[in-house]
Amino acid sequence: MTPDAMPNTLFNKGDSVVLFRGPNVYRSGVFSALRKDSKWADIREHDGILRPHPVEWLKHQKKGDRQKGSQSQATRPKVLEPLPDLECHVAPEI
């Protein structure tokens, strides 16, 4: 990861943050505190629930950063087309 792509990991209580990695990418919230294990932080998400997330997945949220569910059509993952029906051959019993 280049230095420009590295997230700013200096967070203060009340900072707006966004997840940029992991299964909840683009989810935003408010930094609450580091946990006992300083690799994890408590984030108050917009539903009001306090959830732990790895600090390395967080960055400060800037105006214009996307939130979960607001991906543009161009950045949404492509829907995979179903595979055609394939014939299934079963080996005869010996």
Q: What is the pLDDT along the chain (94 residues), one digit of tens a residue?
A: 444 444 445 899 999 999 999 998 889 999 999 999 989 999 999 889 999 999 999 999 887 655 544 444 444 555 566 666 666 666 777 7
Q: Cα(78)–Cα(22) distance, rounded to whole angstroms?
A: 19
> How many beta carbons lie within 10 A of that of residue 21, not counting itself?
13
pLDDT value of residue 35: 93
Q: Just give the CATH number of 14-60.
A: 2.30.30.30
Q: Tell me what pLDDT residue 78 has.
A: 55
Residue 92, pLDDT score: 74
> What is the reported pLDDT for 70?
42
CA 79 to chain centre: 19
Query: Distance between alpha carbon 56 and the CA centroid of its chain, in Å?
Result: 11
